[in-house]
Structure 1
Amino acid sequence: MLRVGEVFAGYRVIRKLGSGGMGSVYLVKHPRLPRYDALKVLNQGPSADREFRARFLREAELAGRLSHPNVVAIHDRGIFEGALWIAMQYVEGCDAADLAGSGPGALPVERALHVIAEAARGLDAAHAAGLLHRDVKPANILVSPKPGAPDRVLVTDFGIARATAESTALTADGEVLATVAYAAPEQISGEPLDHRADVYALGGTLYHLLTGSKPFPRPTPAAIMFAHLTDPPPRPSLIVPGLPAQLDGVIARAMAKNPAERYPSCGALAAAAGAALRGQEQPAEPVPPPRRRLGIVIATAVLVVVLALAAGIGIWATGSRDDSPAVAAGTSTTAAPTTTGIRDFSAQWGQVGYIVSAFPDLLPHTTLGTGYRGLRCTRSQVNATVMPSAVSPDFDAMNCTGDGNPLSSLTLACNSSHLPFPAQALPDVTKTGEQQWTRSSGSGRAFWGDGQDADGRATGVLQISFDHPAQSFCLLTAFSRNGSGQTLYERWWPGAPV
């Protein structure tokens, strides 16, 4: 830690501005010019690593080429007494995390969207120059208030920026170069990155500014990463009453698990958020259908197992799906009949279109649409590595968020081979009821009970299995954070169109 008045690399320290996981930032006086700079000095640990030093210096040089009114300028960088340092433009004000720090509604919506729009301009300029930020978050967006004028907004800390042609999320030792609270699924899974990872993080940042809460508040980093990989995007209107419901759709698209389903640029995200606030419809943009990305599926499968064990959480508890090793006895292994004549939704939903075809009255027909009682759904990046052996190895899953009255979320896990999907035991759920059900659409078994989610909150659980071949290859699990499993069975299930 530097002391006030100390000279470091020629810069005289005026005061400390703050500190983070990798180092500290100081207000300093330039040794020759009549100006003040912000000097970031990295901790000894990273500074001592030869590979990290080389990467830091090279990437600081790349970021130093940026010149944009919404990007903090980098003036110089180097090594002094064994410590890496970088001198940047000093911006008087605070960061966006400070603005939103006092809770839901602390930051007026109009001001939050202005901050996002200005940051988007800086990020898009970086992307046009061939650079990714890779650590977009409220703390890396500086806000300088101007009396009688809109805030001046600048994106900072491009110290881990990297040329897009060679960008991946992990170092050779497996370090995630991002803040996990806002990291895109492909960053966590170690996939190659492009500008859409920054779009995802900016969407998470917008959610934080609107609600005062991080996108997936969880007790451990492992649980947070697991949520990014599997949970549906969060809905700001559930946290802040009065927010336009259209903003839920903006966050859902910005934070889509599949990069191909996100906005094509940060500016497009900001424009959609502004239109949502004004109640305007955005012109439809072509969204490529989801594609099976083998690399991320395999990487996610391995990581999900590790996270579930490390975080000590049941997969069902996060609202994604059940992961118990118990399997119902007498499971059939014969192939199911073909589904000729069923409406095909693969043009919109890609590989999981067959799930929508099996439940067309329940699920949204388009990736940006809504289903029964406002259900919004995303394809889950999961893999059978974490499922019992009786489940087909090519199963898929969809995660959906409900209106909270009483359904909070549901998961449909389905075998693409159309083999019957066995009911799964829920060992961490206290069973309160079980019943065979029959209705005009078919029959099956219902199981409901109560447990706790990964945050320790009481959660009602309802699991539905199906006998009819048109749906028997799927297992539906519903969750309620506002009611019990009995409430789900009595209030949601009777009207559910399945």
Structure 2
Amino acid sequence: MFTSSDPFLDRLLAQRYRLTHLLGQGGMGRVYLAQDLLFGGVEVAVKLLSQPAMDEQARLRFEREAKACAALGQKSLHIVKVSDYGITADEVPFYVMEYLNGQTLKDILAAGPLPLERFFRLARQIGLGLKAAHEGILLEGQRIQVIHRDLKPANVIVVADESLGELAKLVDFGIAKLLNTRESLSLTHAYLGTLAYSSPEQLEGLPLDARSDIYSFGIILYQMASGQMPLQPTTESFPGWYQAHHKQRPLPLEELGLPAGLSDLILSCLAKDPAARPPTVANVLAELERIQAGIQSSAPVAFPSPGIRGASLRDPAPLATAGTLRLRPVTGATAAENRGPLRLIPFLAGGLLGLALVSWGLGRFLQRPAPPVISGSRPSPAPTELEDERPGAGAQPDTAPEPLAL
């Protein structure tokens, strides 16, 4: 469909959208940056689907899916907004989206695992987008549920946002299938998607529901937490990934020191049997919120630097509150460290004071003249140093420091 010369560049679609640059391409088509001439050249993204000429049934199905994607974008902040759709003169279907000038999650994860705070922020936003799609939209008076079928980091775009800091949006619902519709029943058995992120039932061509997207979501969560894929196929082929998704157990996460419950949640999403996974994305979001709340109620979290594999996400020791100060609880080791040098101070101070008193008394004794001896009289005893000692009469002040109160 697309040639190396790319005949669609600089082409005008629907007498409105002029294609200016190729933004990306994949198995399902190409995405172009375009100018919407009707609105003064504002930038939009146009996706041209790489599929053969469409018959009437395929046209109706594409139109229905385009309308569903447009409704989803209006329902959720975390799904890309679709504003228009059409079919070119040479039978190529396309749809028009908002242009998101940001990074894909795939590019972000190339640097390694995410800090824990960012992990929860992006996981929640991706989950909210999925939740909106799975709950469905009203289309022609009927509630329609939508599953993504190709959820992966490349289909999550993260852009800067003034209120949220960063905003994650799901894109490429172009191969989404509408549930509860007769038109989609004949197509649910065909495999469409990306091998590394497909559920076991998707690789088998079985009918899919929301739990297939939850499996893909689990792979993304695993990557976000560890910087690695949970499965390692023997070959990058359909048979290799089929065996990995059906037979291989995910690599353990224990050594990463994840918060309590997070590893169990991620691995439950990766269950081979759909019945063993969380039934809805709402369940996943609730558990993520519970885990995050448990972290925030204990102690500040030491986030690892992005890009460092195996960096620990474990919380530091909890802090105990004393008045307005936050004091780390004293363990046996820290108590010994704190008392070691300080407990010698009283003994040193006492020794120095005793030495000073002995030196002072000896000096007084040596300087005192001997009393005269009168014949026939008994010599009077020499007064002791303590008899001459009175307040303010030459006694040395106690300058030794008192022990520190810990």
Q: Which has the higher helix share?
A: 2
1:279 positional shift: 4.9
In structure 2, the residue matched to 1:17 is: 23
In structure 1, the residue matched to 2:107 is: 98
Alignment of 1:176-215 (within 5 A): 176-215=191-230
- The CA distance in 2 between the partners of 1:100 and 1:109, in whole Å, is 13
1:84 to 78, 84, 93: 93
Q: Which has the higher strand share?
A: 1
Q: Deviations over 1:5-49 (max 9, x none)?
A: 432333112322111112111111113124321101122xx1335
Letter in 2 for 1:127: H
1:236 positional shift: 3.8
Letter in 2 for 1:207: Y
% of aligned pairs identical? 33
CA distance 1:206–1:250, change in 2 (3 Å): same
1:109 to 104, 116, 119: 116
Q: Deviations over 1:306-346 (max 9, x none)?
A: xxxxxxxxxxxxxxxxxxxxxxxxxxxxxxxxxxxxxxxxx
1:146 positional shift: 3.0
- The CA distance in 1 between the partners of 2:270 and 2:185, in whole Å, is 20
Partner of 1:64, secondary structure, is helix
In structure 2, the residue matched to 1:60 is: 66
Q: Deviations over 1:165-206 (max 9, x none)?
A: 259999769641221211122212222222111111111111
> TM-score normalised to the size of structure 2?
0.61
- The CA distance in 2 between the partners of 1:36 and 1:23, in whole Å, is 19
* Worse overlay, 50-59 or 25-34: 50-59
What is the Cα-based RMSD across aligned positions, in Å? Answer: 2.9
Alignment of 1:47-446 (within 5 A): 47-48=52-53, 50=55, 54-66=60-72, 67=74, 68-80=76-88, 81-102=90-111, 104-105=112-113, 107-129=114-136, 130-146=145-161, 149-166=164-181, 175-218=190-233, 219-220=235-236, 221-238=238-255, 241-244=256-259, 246-276=261-291, 279=294
- The CA distance in 2 between the partners of 1:191 and 1:135, in whole Å, is 15
The answer as to whether partners of 1:75 and 1:89 remain within 8 angstroms in 2 is yes
Unaligned stretches of 5+ in structure 1? 282-498
- The CA distance in 2 between the partners of 1:170 and 1:191, in whole Å, is 11
- The CA distance in 1 between the partners of 2:91 and 2:149, in whole Å, is 26
1:72 positional shift: 0.8
The answer as to whether partners of 1:6 and 1:13 remain within 8 angstroms in 2 is yes
- The CA distance in 1 between the partners of 2:189 and 2:261, in whole Å, is 38
- The CA distance in 2 between the partners of 1:155 and 1:111, in whole Å, is 17
The answer as to whether partners of 2:231 and 2:249 remain within 8 angstroms in 1 is no
Partner of 1:78, secondary structure, is strand
- The CA distance in 2 between the partners of 1:169 and 1:56, in whole Å, is 11
Structure showing greater Rg: 2
Partner of 1:248, secondary structure, is helix
Letter in 2 for 1:269: V
CA distance 1:152–1:256, change in 2 (3 Å): same
- The CA distance in 1 between the partners of 2:254 and 2:289, in whole Å, is 15
